[in-house]
Structure 1
């Protein structure tokens, strides 16, 4: 145990007396390393001004260090979920979805044009090397602006109407980003589930960079790694989001301890983590995370058997019943959290489909409206979710200030008469002998919807929709594919229509970038080529040519220039309204509860919460580093 005047000062800032503040407590996990002299004591490992976490303000218990937490993923590359769940961010969302400093000691925002980032003195990477402004400088000058490492230059959120920021480093604990015009998305992007790491462990990566290492030494490294260029080697080592390089230093609560793993990965506590509770206990409380890779169909069964301590990924609402049955023997509870996606299931007609005839049909808003009007969402809700979800089109959730019941209900209340009238009006009034409508070129109206084949509820919903669409003379053909194959087909314009969740962020606020409502990203499966055009500055893809999409594009640009939250909110509302009217994606259901399996001994896991990728990083915003096992 160690007393430090800096700890006392930090507690004083929280309004706690030195008498209330306990000494730093050394973890049993690292005690032998400290005793052997291979690791400094905890008082020398935490920053001079650590992030003091007062758990009582959120009705949480002070915990104890120790234990191994078991969880599961369905692909080995999903070890990156440890970056998502760990949620070590320069700036992060708190439980009220407010942006607060985390890794940063503090930040200053001057009219969204100038951001002054203050680092924590004494903060160190997981290998004990100082974390300073040099790590930001290295990223900006030697990675983001190096043509070999970043051929497209710095990422988009650092550009304001094409203008890159002026970045300066006044001292080792200060970094300044500055633009001549507002960049309102800067802080929010730093808090995302997949953060745009604007810093790098420069001490680790410089030996792989041609600007810092002589040619002969680099040649030897290339030979050992069996790669052809130093840039390829550097990029292989520099994978902070993938989290699959155990040697790459991190600032996350846990660091990878498994090299070349395939089905089981271990992550151990970061001895230099920056967060400490009010008793002087360094977080995270849990010593080890064990992540097992299993087949998608086995997640619920293994959870039911008590083989996990914390699990939500890979579980659907349909699993809730069997999970409840296994609670007594499995030693866990099944919590039902809210879901933050705009729609649990959404159908995306591909407006960039390579088939000219079908593309013209799907770009006609009457066709999309008719398909939506034909769906019996009440039956899907009752049959798949026991009536616990909310039927409706894809729009924001009620927790967002931009929610309107009118938008949720737009073209989403079943009306076969109107659906048939819309299709007749657009010239699809002829049918074949089987009763299916014919396109202008004589082909039958058969809509092929490709799925990732990972969620049974999607297939079940599409089976119901198959019968619904037959009532208006449209045949639905379902085609399951592997996720990566599906995405590649969508991006190439080879997919007619696909299914996925709705917008990841169904809880937007005025400060949230509306870029995912604009044709700016190929990941929105209704307009992949428009997204590619924006993402690659016109080098590939196609420019949007539908009036509504062009208007969304213009509004998103206006949002980036807006000076007040009121103006940004007005822009947001208009964009949400445009989506509701144009049915670019056909939402089916939202608010379906998310099962969360929690070991009976695991504490500080919220009883009620929101499971959302953005904002929130799934478990991340709920701070798993504060979860602990009771004795």
Structure 2
């Protein structure tokens, strides 16, 4: 199905690319660059664009052609958070459309044969933001000089580039054509290229060769390594080659805006990329907005700042319980507040750590009766009414009704509030002894006191946990809440020190059968319920722990069946078996979903949809709605 989608997207894109020349429309110079062009510091726009730019069209959803100009301000809580802008900008080799089909973007086209052979065609004349050519050499350099170089971490191909455990055969066919071939199907490849944090299979080789021992002058490279305080040239190379983090203003990019500010800073300035590859139907080079200004502020006061009109576009750090306050101040401060649907499998979920280093707790969490009992002892209706005004829905952590894979039993498995059955399951496990406050005792005599750790970024999680603590007392389980910083929490989870965490459910709650079910399978250490199993997969078995629970092993086998499935129907069958196991075995304990995300939009900002899906992957939050087409009716 992916092959058909790409071919359909290719045909549509090829037709669109011919519209501008057929209409006799020349590229239109951007006012922001006019002075630099006149001074000879930049070539005119016709020479900056690829020979076949991507022409963006506007559909019937209210979006319209705009005009260039203006600055757009957004708020972030930490300097490191500017990496999110790479997701928002969402220029990719292939991209998802709002209806979640794939189409070429940076690529002119792509040919796919049986999900095994992928031939990528670049746009002739495409350039990086510094004006250097974007060609097949940038792909060759990344593959041969970085990935296959034994001195450069992470020492080998990313998991998305392995099929049957083997890397691809890589070929340069000509200056604008490369090919990746596998003996077995690799349906993970294209979705990974389109992800919010994408698989980047190329790099600005002209820039990066200055930091590579194979190409750089030895003395100069040694000085660079010393000046940067790095251990080796390979560590320096990794440090400067980090497109996603947006922390190297010198690194050329293909994104619509380029960061010009080095960290640490309280304000980051992104300016438009003079060599960006997209144009509108009138021949105007995108993006419309000249500069993006990212202001750093304490995350706790970002809702107040957004309500005071200090952001032109803001959703991150805003919660549904901010909606009333934001709405009241909207007209006075020149913005509107839209409510977007969310795409997480659960707005919040509990993650019992099956890899906990404490053997007593690990044994309990690995007993499905214990996980089921904890889920049954949560009054999700109470949480919905008390925290979400009755607007959410009790739910497992699974796919949403908007997904073609949705089945009610996945959403409802073990989510009813049934204290009697929860107590029966715990008694059946032999957890009948009680201590002080009528709290059950573990087999080793310790009280059943579960510490649930949070990232500490909002009071919402703490409020929800207080309600869960009340209901869990009815089954003799005591809950304590421990807030911490996100990075600290993740490191504790990876090490097995955290017993249980609370956070968002699966990122992609709206998958199709042709999207990978990786979030429901132990393939990533960021999956809090089995971090060491995920690390084992990600590192090819060099770190972490091999899955040793039968259900987890079965999930990995089903993932293999999905990867080698001959068609969409067979992939859907593998998906349903995975979803059924995941729901029945309660590897994560979903709480509610169906919550809405407030989105603050400046009244003069156009082309931001009033209704959208605020989702990380697929979607990249604002990314699939093409922020390069947002524009100000009155440039700010």
Q: Find the residue that maps to 2:209 and give its secondary structure.
A: helix
Deviation per residue, 1:555-596 (Å, 9 max, x gap): 111211222111111101110111100110100011200000
Give the match for residue 3 of structure 1: none
Determine which of 471, 493, 496 is the counterpart of 2:496: 493
Q: How many angstroms does 1:59 deviate by? A: 3.6
What pairs up with 1:515-554 in 2 under 5 angstroms? 515-554=518-557
Indicate conservation of the 8 Å contact 2:149/2:155, yes or no: no
1:69 corresponds to 2:72: yes
Q: How many angstroms does 1:529 deviate by? A: 1.3
CA distance in 1, matches of 2:300, 2:18: 50
CA RMSD of aligned residues (A): 1.5
Q: How many angstroms does 1:17 deviate by? A: 7.2
Give the match for residue 595 of structure 1: 598
Deviation per residue, 1:19-54 (Å, 9 max, x gap): 856432211111110010000111111111000111
1:38 corresponds to 2:11: no
Instruction: Report the CA distance shift for 1:11/1:178 in structure 2 as closer, same or farther (over 3 A).
Output: closer
Q: How many angstroms does 1:539 deviate by? A: 2.0
Determine which of 441, 450, 463 is the counterpart of 1:460: 463
Determine which of 613, 617, 621 is the counterpart of 1:614: 617
Determine which of 552, 556, 563 is the counterpart of 2:566: 563
1:367 corresponds to 2:367: no
Deviation per residue, 1:595-624 (Å, 9 max, x gap): 000000000001111000010111101111
Q: How many angstroms does 1:500 deviate by? A: 1.1
Q: How many angstroms does 1:335 deviate by? A: 0.4
Give the match for residue 4 of structure 1: none
Deviation per residue, 1:380-416 (Å, 9 max, x gap): 1112111111111111111112211111111101111
Give the match for residue 86 of structure 2: 83
1:126 corresponds to 2:129: yes
Q: Find the residue that maps to 2:363 and give its secondary structure.
A: helix
TM-score normalised per structure 1 = 0.97
Indicate conservation of the 8 Å contact 1:12/1:18, yes or no: no
CA distance in 2, matches of 1:586, 1:71: 34
CA distance in 2, matches of 1:386, 1:449: 24
Q: How many angstroms does 1:367 deviate by? A: 0.9
Q: Find the residue that maps to 1:495 and give its secondary structure.
A: coil
Give the match for residue 398 of structure 1: 401
Give the match for residue 63 of structure 2: 60
Instruction: Report the CA distance shift for 1:94/1:77 in structure 2 as closer, same or farther (over 3 A).
Output: same
Stretch of structure 1 that moved more, 305-314 or 229-238 = 229-238
What pairs up with 1:98-497 in 2 under 5 angstroms? 98-497=101-500
Give the match for residue 27 of structure 1: 30
Q: Find the residue that maps to 2:156 and give its secondary structure.
A: coil
Tell me how many residue pairs correspond in the alignment. Answer: 623
CA distance in 1, matches of 2:119, 2:489: 42
Stretch of structure 1 that moved more, 185-194 or 420-429 = 420-429
Indicate conservation of the 8 Å contact 1:390/1:591, yes or no: yes
CA distance in 1, matches of 2:227, 2:300: 39
Q: How many angstroms does 1:235 deviate by? A: 1.1
CA distance in 1, matches of 2:567, 2:384: 39
Determine which of 603, 626, 629 is the counterpart of 1:626: 629
Deviation per residue, 1:123-182 (Å, 9 max, x gap): 100011110000000000001111111343111111112211001011011010001110
Indicate conservation of the 8 Å contact 1:92/1:99, yes or no: yes
Deviation per residue, 1:472-497 (Å, 9 max, x gap): 11100001011111000000001111
CA distance in 1, matches of 2:298, 2:611: 28
Stretch of structure 1 that moved more, 505-514 or 255-264 = 255-264
Gaps of 5+ in 2: 1-12
Instruction: Report the CA distance shift for 1:334/1:151 in structure 2 as closer, same or farther (over 3 A).
Output: closer
CA distance in 2, matches of 1:45, 1:463: 57
CA distance in 2, matches of 1:261, 1:268: 18
Q: Find the residue that maps to 2:51 and give its secondary structure.
A: coil
Q: Find the residue that maps to 2:502 and give its secondary structure.
A: strand
Q: How many angstroms does 1:56 deviate by? A: 3.6
Indicate conservation of the 8 Å contact 1:118/1:175, yes or no: yes
Determine which of 90, 96, 115 is the counterpart of 1:93: 96
Stretch of structure 1 that moved more, 606-615 or 355-364 = 355-364
Q: Find the residue that maps to 1:576 and give its secondary structure.
A: helix
Deviation per residue, 1:89-122 (Å, 9 max, x gap): 0001011100000000010110001001000011
Indicate conservation of the 8 Å contact 2:114/2:185, yes or no: yes
Gaps of 5+ in 1: 1-9
Q: How many angstroms does 1:547 deviate by? A: 1.2
1:502 corresponds to 2:505: yes
CA distance in 1, matches of 2:24, 2:431: 74
